[in-house]
Amino acid sequence: MRLTIHANPPVSAQMETDLGKLYGHLPADLQAPFWFIATFNDRHIGAVRLDGDRLVNLGVRSETRRRGVGRYLMQKALERAKDMGLAQVRALASDYPVENRAMVGDFLLALGFEAVDGEAWQKAL
């Protein structure tokens, strides 16, 4: 099997189980548009959602980090943002648990995002 990114896949029992483990709870907005879900061997290992010009729910299972999953997810989300005509996207620190903010920030900076006021990151498209 290979890593696959699905745009707005139908919600399944397996997705609910896997994302529940990833986030520690099941996101209430799984039916909302613009979810990008990474799967490997029929398991959901990462996700991000484009909510307007904001990237939310960015997460990758700890066992599969540092293998390009997050980068691939972000590539697909940023492509969609460009297709929507957005000039920039942003991520807010307040959308992430305090203990994950530095890791999320480091990841976004490595992808070319800029830090804004210590509370957000943004990237021009």
- CATH classification at residue 25: 3.40.630.30
Q: Give the pair of three-digit tokens for residue 87.
A: 């000039």
% of the chain at pLDDT higher than 90:
59
How far is 70 from 59, CA to CA, in rounded Å?
Answer: 7
Domain count, the chain: 1
Q: Give the pLDDT mean for 99-124.
A: 92
- Strand, coil or helix: 43: strand
**Whole domain around residue 108: which residue ranges?**
4-124
Q: Is the pTM of this model over 0.85?
A: yes
The residues, ordered by sequence, that sit 6+ positions from 55 with a Cβ below 8 Å of its Cβ are 48, 49, 74, 77, 89, 90, 91
For 96, list phi and psi in degrees, rounded to 5.
-125, 145
pLDDT at 1 over 70: no
Mean pLDDT (the chain) is 90
